[in-house]
Amino acid sequence: MELIPAKNILSGYAENSGWFGCNYNMNIYRGCSHGCIYCDSRSACYQIEDFGRVRAKADAHAIIEKNLRAKRKKGIIGTGAMSDPYNPMEAEYALTRGALKLIDQYRFGIVPLTKSALITRDIDLYAKIAAHSPVSVMMTVTTSDDALAARVEPGASPPSARFATLKAFSDAGLHTGIAMMPILPFLEDNRENLRDIVDQASKAGVRFIAPGFGMTIREGQREYFYAALDREFPGLKQRYIDRYGLDYSCAVPEAAELRRWFETLCREAGIYTRMPDIVASINKGYATQQMSFV
């Protein structure tokens, strides 16, 4: 695996982050091999060449320890926004596992986002961190159908394995959630798919589902996505072109109505969907915040 130089790996500080309560961001890897056809990180604005090739930050653990030691304020670290922290390389190199040990040592919280069942390997470390700081293990799920997922997320663990992973963490007493984004127009925005995601999430003990009814399409990402549509779903590209043109934000048809229906479905299942409630549930027991389904 190629190593690339880095000065810092832990970045940013947000006092009151509205994005899953994360105060800091951490990306140990660059690029991703899951091959998701919709991935926004392929966009030209991020300037990541050959995005499908995974690289790692050189001296990652030494840099992370230096960053953690220098932080004056404790907080929750988010990881997985740009590159999956549990890509296949992690099985051999264990860079994410090493980072979790440091996060535990310096008593920070952690919210990982992944599509890989490999995260189950580290359930012991997440439990140790949760003893002193907020933890929420989050997986991306855009469809409950393993066959469809194999076409839109070919290198990731199938949804059935992701739900099993979430159940393992929930059974261990850890907070879990789903990032249900992006929901691809004309492919995943049917109520049968969304209802099944809620049903499977409820069985897995998931505390929240953060929905995104649509996707982004911009330069670099658009070309890759449309080529994948031509390959996997012939004829569908034209529907995107006809409806969205060169729009950046591509909401599913009747997104507002679908969101209201979905939030009602989740409320009946006792699953949070609103970000303030999600953040409060992650921090429950560590900070006093009021939650509401209203």
143/155 Cα distance (integer angstroms): 15
Compute how many other C-beta atoms are within 10 angstroms of the C-beta atom of residue 213. 22
- In the predicted model, what is the mean pLDDT of residues 283-287? 87
* pLDDT confidence band for 289 (50 / 70 / 90): very low
DSSP assignment of 15-35 equals: TT-SSTT--EEE--EES-SS-
* pLDDT confidence band for 13 (50 / 70 / 90): confident
Write the pLDDT tens digit of every residue in 102-154: 999 999 999 999 999 999 999 999 999 999 999 999 999 999 999 999 999 99
The yes-or-no verdict on residue 60 having pLDDT over 50 is: yes
The token pair at 285 is 């027991």
- In the predicted model, what is the mean pLDDT of residues 52-71? 95
Write the pLDDT tens digit of every residue in 248-264: 999 999 999 999 999 99
CA dihedral 4, 117, 155, 8 (to 10 degrees): -20
CB 159 within 8 A of CB 141: yes
Between residues 48 and 292, which one has the greater pLDDT? Answer: 48
- In the predicted model, what is the mean pLDDT of residues 232-245? 96
- In the predicted model, what is the mean pLDDT of residues 20-37? 94
E strand spans, the chain: 3-4, 10-11, 24-26, 29-30, 55-57, 76-79, 109-114, 137-140, 176-180, 208-211, 214-216, 249-251
The yes-or-no verdict on residue 267 having pLDDT over 70 is: yes
The yes-or-no verdict on residue 292 having pLDDT over 70 is: no
Phi-psi category of residue 32: left, alpha or beta, with phi > 0 → left and psi -120 to 50 → alpha = beta
Write the pLDDT tens digit of every residue in 147-162: 999 999 999 999 999 9
Q: Spell out the domains of the chain, with CATH numbers in brackets.
A: 3-283 (3.20.20.70)
**The pLDDT of residue 287:** 62
The yes-or-no verdict on residue 164 having pLDDT over 50 is: yes
* pLDDT confidence band for 81 (50 / 70 / 90): confident
Whose tokens are 């900070």? That residue is 287
**The pLDDT of residue 49:** 82
**The pLDDT of residue 52:** 85
Whose tokens are 């359930």? That residue is 123
* pLDDT confidence band for 50 (50 / 70 / 90): confident
The yes-or-no verdict on residue 168 having pLDDT over 50 is: yes
Q: How far is CA 144 from CA 75, 106, 157, in A?
A: 33, 37, 12
Q: Mean pLDDT for the chain? A: 94
104/260 Cα distance (integer angstroms): 39
E strand spans, 141-241: 176-180, 208-211, 214-216
Q: Is the pTM of this model over 0.85?
A: yes
- In the predicted model, what is the mean pLDDT of residues 204-226? 95
